[in-house]
Structures are given as C-alpha cells and as structure tokens.
Structure 1
Amino acid sequence: MDTTAVLPTDDTDPFSPSVLEDPAELHARLREAGPVVHLTRHDVYALSRHEHVHAALRDWQRFQSAAGVGLSNFRYEEPWRPPSLLLEADPPHHDAPRAVLSGVLSPRALRSLRGRWFAEAEELVDQVLADDEFDAVPSLAQAFPLRVFPDAVGLPRQGRENLLPYGDHVFNAFGPDNALVARGRPGLGEVSAWINAQCRRETLDSAGFGARIWSAADRGDITHEQAPLLVRSLLTAGVDTTVHGLAAVLYAFATHPRQWDLLRRDPSLARMAFDEAVRWESPVQTFFRTALTEVEIGGTVIPDGKKILMFLGSANRDPRRWSAPDAFDLERDPSGHVGFGMGVHQCVGQHVARLEAEALVTALARRVERLELTGRPRRHLNNTLRGWESLPVRVTRT
C-alpha cells in the first residue's frame, strides 16, 4: 500500500525550546493533519489523537517498547545505560519484574503509609504557611515527594538531592541529543554512581520497597541480577514525574479559584483533582514506540522498525475525546486519560503518586482559603516531561 502521497508531513522539531515551552499549537496542528503525521526533522511517525495513542499504548505486540521508549532505537544503537526492566521491555521479559513491583506498590501495600504521609503533609504545609508568599515548586511540589518517597523506598538520608537531576537527565535522554541532554552530562557520573549504590541490598532499609524487591529475588520471583535494576526503576521514575504532577495541580488551583472552592467544600475530590491535572498538564508529554511489523493506522502504513512518537499531552486534550479539553474541571470524569500510559506498560507507581497528591492537597485545603499566583510562573524544560521551575504564590489562610 503506497501512502506516500497522502501522508501529512511536518518539519517542526517537537523538542525545540519554543515547543517544549508551549506545545498546544503543534498538538492542534498534528491532530487536525491526520491520524499519522511524518515528522521529517527526526524521521518519526507522530500519533496525536486520543484514539490512536490509547490504542498504540495497549498494543504491545505491534508497538514495541523493547527497542526503547525514546528516540534512540535499540535495534541499531547501544543504550547509554542498562534498559529499564519495565519501560524498555515487553512480555514475556516484562512480566515478572512488573508483577513484583505491582505487588510492592499495590493500593493494599500502600495503606500502611497513608496515615504517616498525611501527617507528613500536614507538618510540611504548616511549616510552609509560616509565610504568606512562597515558591510552590521547591516548597511543596519537590519537598513533599523528597520527604516521603525515599523513606518508603528505604534510602539513607544522605544524597537524596541526586534523585531529581538523575531523573531529569533520564527523561531528557529519551529525546534527541540536544542542549537539554548536554546540560545534565557534567555531573552524570557522580549522580549515577550514587543511584547505583542505593540499589544494593546492603544500602536499603529492611522495611522499605527496595528490600521487598530483594526479597522477591530471594523467593525466585525475579533474579538477583534484576533486583537492583528494578530498584533503579523506582528511583528513576518515582520522583520527577510526581513532582511535576503536584506542580500541575497546584498551578491548576492557583489559576482556577472556583475549582479550589469546590475542593475545599469537598476534600474527597483531591484524588480526582490530581488525575484531572495529569490529564490537563500531562507531566509525561511523549513516549516512543517502534513498529514491530508494518503497522497500519488510519490508512497509513508505518514501516517495520520505524520510531513512533506518541503525544500523550495532545491525546489528553483531544476535543474528539474530551468536552472543553483545555479547561481544568473537577466536575469532569478524567478517567481514560493517558497521562499514566495504558496497557501492560501503564505507570506502576501511579497509586503512590495519587496518595502523595491526596495527602498534600488535603492538607492545603484545610488551611488555605485562597491560592493565587503573585508572578509569572517559569517552566522547567525537559525533552519528555512538562513541569514548572517556579510557581510564586500567595495564600490566604482559613
């Protein structure tokens, strides 16, 4: 089937600073151009509509993750680090590590953390609200995950500041080798060495997530060679994504006072508010797949071995799927968004992120009558993630 004449093309670089700063125009153009658009700058095939992104995420048989979820194609290129046992593997190799981590991070397993995390959120919010004005990114969105998640994993206190730059570099490396990747290289060796050291059994507290992963290796559920790689997956994707998700929900409420009023009247909306913020802002904007065979989508055949760029952020604002998609709305049902992925590779840590968000947002709702911006927020640019560097806010206490 020859579709060259009808396949839309676009020479925009989706990883350029201007697009990363504000991708809305590109997303709308790609959605309207067709089900598949050839991005000539990187010779990849783009999916931007919810229907096709959702379907591709679920179809691991034809849309391969094992060749890398970034621009680099592991069929032909050597990965810069050992591939992730979760993100960069497909069944059956993906199944055992996924089952172990799903058990470690299951909602049932997290119940024991709920009371402690809610208390930690209240303590942090009380400390931050000593001032009426503050930057919500370092004070809340970064501070809370770095306060509770490393404890849950079982990490020692020293060196936790390495978690954010390491995760930032990993997600940057899913894109092209541009200035953002170069930004993270100078300190990468030292940061990576610290991360690798935290994955060893002897470093981890015996009661944390990491120790449970090693126990699974002792039981034979995974190999002892896989255990440190699985702990590394926790440390790679468990902080930055949650930080940007928390920043997204804080930004949403600071710019939507009516929605904040709705939440204050009904704090049980906190979890749904986080999911709506993940849909609306999509902290994980893009992921790649590789065609495992010739794949036909909407009349276009994508050749075997070609990279496919899925725009999760675009899918989450597709008007074909959502009514008023550019609005942050707590009266909407956000289920079906692809901000956590979909299918066998759906984010295994999403319940952890939801619990962190519920604890922090609930603590704020009890104490803050009004949350508003005091200056222009500043984006944190990353090839894969969409987040904030700074959110200057003012609070009016209850």
Structure 2
Amino acid sequence: MEAIATQIPRIDVDPFSDAMIDEPYEMHDILREAGPVVFIPKYDLHVVARHAQVQSVLTNWESFISSAGVGLANFKHEAPFRPKSLLLEADPPDHTVVRTVISRVMSPKTIQQLRDLFEAEAEAMFDRLLEKGRIEGVKELAEHFPLKVFPDAVGLESEGRDNLLLYGDMVFNALGPRNDLFERSMERFKPVSSWVMDHCERKALRPGGLGHLIYQAADTGEITHEQAPMLVRSFLSAGVDTTINGIANVLLTLARHPGEYAKLHANPALARQTFEEGLRYESIVQTIFRTTSRPVEIDGVEIDGDRKVLTLLGAANRDPRKWSEPDRFNVDRNPVGHLVFGAGIHGCVGQIIARMEGEIVLRTLARRVKRIELTAPHERHLNNSLRAMRKLPLEIFPA
C-alpha cells in the first residue's frame, strides 16, 4: 500500500537510473531544496537529502533501524539474498557485541602499527609510477594500493585479490533496486563467490593479521565461530571499495583543480584535510537506507512505521545549510561533520584504515609529484550506491 504523502513534496525521479548515478548533483539540489523530507513515487519511498535530517536519521538507531536492511529491500518482508551483515544489518544488542570486537581489532594502536608498512608501500608504488609518467590512475594507483595493504593487514593471500572488487561491487549494488546494475554485478560475482567465502575462513588467513584477531575473539567466546567468517567478510567489503573509490575520486578532483593541487604540493601536511574534503566533495557512498521501527516525525513530516527511508549522503555533503560554497573543492576547508562514512553506531567500520590510506597516498603524492593532469576523459563505473570510477588516465610529473 502506497504511503500517505499528501503534504510531502512528490518528486518523480529515479536516483538509481544510469543518468542520475553518473551525474547526481542536479537531482540532489532538487530533492534537497524541495523540503526536509520528499517522496519518490517510483519506489514508494521517503527521502532525506539535507545534512541535518540525514545525520538525525543515521544517529537515531532506535527509530530508524538497520536490521531490516540498509538497502531498498525490507528484510521484514523478504529474505535477504545472502546472510545479513553482522555489522551493517543488525541493531543493539546484537550489533553491540560484534562492534565491540571489531573496534578492538581496529583500535588506533593496532592501526598505527600498520602505518610504517603502508608508507613503505606508497613510496615503492610511486617509484614505479613516476618511472612511467603516464598511468591508469584507477588500476595502477587507486586499486593497487588498497588491494595490497589492506588484505595484507587482514592476512589474506596475494593471489586472487581482484575477486574482492567483484564482491564489493555486488554488495553495494545490492543496496539499490534489483535493476540491471545489480543483475550484472551478481553474474560477475557468481564465479568467484566461493573464493571470497573460502578466504574468510581461518585456514586461509595468515596468523597475526586482523582476520586472525577476529577468530581469537571467537576462541574466547565473545562471538561464535560461525560469526567469525561473516565478520571477516564484512571487514573485506567495508575496507576495499570505499577506499579505492575515495582515492580515485580525489585524484580526479585534484587533476581538475590544479590550483588546489599546488597548495597540497606546497604543503603536504594538508594531505589528511585534502582527503576529507575530497570525500565530502565526491561522496564515495551516495545512498544508504534505514527502516522506521515505529511511526516517526521528521521536521513535522509524519512517516508510518515499517517504511523505508533513503538518506542521500552525497546530497547532505553538499548542503549549503551546512557548508559555505558547497560545490567548490577547497583544500583549505576542514570539512568536519561530512557523512561519507555514515554516523552513529553504524558508522563505517573501515573508516580508520581508509582515512590512513588516503592520507598516506596524498602525502606521498604531494611530496613526489609536482603536477597531475588528465590525459583523456575519465570513465565512471556505475553502481547503485557508490560514486565509483572505471578509468582515470593521468600523467604525473616528478617534483
């Protein structure tokens, strides 16, 4: 039964069409300015696109639950096509148990111990790239670095890591409708599904890695041995695609804004801030869903219980109510409060490592590369939830 939305602006738009995924910002403006809550008839769906409302929904887990799925599908009424994520698709108290384990595994102390290894890999990568000069920025840089350092940290073997790209593409496509993008990603993933699942098992993980620490929590009884491989799976889906596309988007943005790159090159200490501003400017994750656990009100708009609510992270991160000149990329901006990694108890578990990886790549780039230029148009990789990149032809000039 269609929601009663007589006082809510109704916008006939499809956020999951190829055109809107490729270039969403005009749609974001329309939805954001129409009101604090809008209604999309195509999906019988309430949408929030302003920063304040998106943040409010994401931080109120009691009223806007995740256990019914963080995509368009409502798991109260349809079975998930795969086992639910123990992190993203669970609410307290179940969520609290596994989140506590992951938070300890991903503690600042543990992550800091990885920094030297990540920095050494970044230096070696730029040694190779600067010898070439002309590079494919996605495959040789944005994909290469996270696929090397993060699976190394988890304890994954080197062979077959490209399979993680197919897995992540499917996972994020599954957050949208069952459209062609989802169906194609499922077909690509099927041949490698057993590889991904097998490599979440203890026997496939190097002792001492982050994955091994998860299994130690199972040994002590904090989680079950059945939950351990599912947590490793969540780990891998959270820590690869978002970082890859975050780095790719920032590289494209810097190439398009040579004046801003000159500031970074002159002051590599801006690397962390530049990465955060790049994430705000081109949000890696564009959409995430919640489900109302009861009748709720958002800024005077009443929404029934058991209704899907779409939060537009990309729109919130360019909300002029929150940011001055939101459509301007500015490395001098300190974009505290952007919502790329979500907010509240379900904030992205991999964000600590993603931020460290992005900072290290940009700091090394700033020190070693004087100028970065596009040599041909970039190509987007369309995904229902990710702001993703397929090709990024670049030329980098040594400092």
1:276 and 1:99 mapped to 2: Cα distance? 29
Q: Name the CA distance, whole Å, in 2 between partners of 1:191 and 1:11.
A: 38
| Helix, strand or coil at the partner of 1:321 | coil
2:238–2:348 Cα contact (<8 Å) kept: no
* Partner residue, 2:31: 30
Q: Is the 8 A contact 2:164 2:236 kept in 1?
A: yes
Alignment correspondent of 2:239: 238
Q: Secondary structure at the match of 2:207?
A: coil
**Equivalent residue number for residue 282 of structure 1:** 283
* 1:99 corresponds to: 100
Aligned 1:299-310 pairs, distance under 5 A: 299-310=300-311
Q: CA deviation at 1:220?
A: 1.6
Matched, 1:197 2:201: no
- The amino acid that maps onto 2:35 is G
What residue number does 1:9 align with? 10
CA contact (8 A) 1:284 1:384 kept: yes
Deviation sequence 1:123-179 (CA, Å, 0-9, x none): 011101112212211110001001111111001122111000110011001101111
> How far apart in 1 are the matches of 2:151 and 2:91?
28
Distance apart, 1:5 and its partner CA: 2.9
Query: Take 1:37 and 1:269, find their aligned partners in 2: how far apart are those partners?
Result: 37
- Work out whether residues 3 and 301 of structure 1, in 8 Å CA contact, stay in contact via their aligned partners in 2: no
Contact 1:195-1:235 within 8 A present in 2 as well:
no
Shift of 1:190: 2.7
For the Cα contact (< 8 Å) 1:3–1:300, is it kept in 2? no
Q: What is aligned with 1:368?
A: 369
Deviations 1:243-301 (A, max 9, x none): 00001111121111122122122212111111111111000000000011111112211
Deviates more, 1:294-303 or 1:4-13: 4-13
Q: Which residue is 1:379 aligned to? A: 380
Please name the residue that 1:44 is paired with. 45
* Distance in 2 between residues matched to 1:95 and 1:344, nearest whole Å: 9
**C-alpha contact (below 8 Å) 1:8/1:38 kept by paired residues:** yes
Corresponding residue number in structure 2 for 1:153 = 154
Name the SS for the 2:79 alignment partner. coil
Shift of 1:95: 0.4
- Cα deviation, residue 186, structure 1: 2.2
| Alignment partner, residue 252 of structure 1 | 253
Deviates more, 1:272-281 or 1:186-195: 186-195
Please give the root-mean-square deviation of Cα atoms over the aligned residues, in Å: 1.2
> In 2, distance between residues paired with 1:263 and 1:227?
41
Of stretches 295-304 and 186-195 in structure 1, the one that deviates more from structure 2 is 186-195
Letter in structure 2 aligned against 1:361: L
Counterpart in the other structure of 2:68: 67
Q: After superposing the two structures, state which structure 1 stretch, 102-111 or 13-22, moved more.
A: 102-111
* SS of residue paired to 1:129: helix
Distance 1:147 1:177 in 2: 32
The letter of the residue matching 1:371 is I
8 Å CA contact 1:270, 1:362 repeated in 2: yes
Secondary structure in 1 matching 2:84: coil
- Partner amino acid, structure 1, of 2:112: R
Which residue does the alignment assign to 1:85?
86
| Residue of structure 1 in register with 2:326 after alignment | 325
Q: State the TM-score, normalized to the length of structure 2.
A: 0.97
AA aligned to 2:220 is R
How far residue 313 of structure 1 moved from its aligned partner, in angstroms, is 0.2
Q: Distance in 1 between matches of 2:132 and 2:188?
A: 34
Gaps of 5+ in 2: none
**Whole-angstrom CA distance in 2 between matches of 1:3 and 1:52:** 20
Separation (CA, whole Å) in 1 of partners of 2:189 and 2:161: 15
CA displacement, residues 84-134 of structure 1 (integer Å, 9 cap, x when unaligned): 011000111100111111111122111111111101001011101112212
Identity, % of aligned pairs? 50
| Number of the residue aligned with 1:355 | 356
Give the match's secondary structure for 1:185.
helix
Q: Is the 8 A contact 1:3 1:299 kept in 2?
A: no
Distance 1:138 1:183 in 2: 21
- Aligned partners of 1:252, 1:354: CA distance in 2, in Å? 17
Aligned partner of 1:185 in structure 2 is 186
Shift of residue 3 of structure 1? 7.2
Tell whether 2:241 aligns with 1:223. no
Which one-letter code corresponds to 1:7 in the other structure? I
Q: Counterpart amino acid of 2:312?
A: F
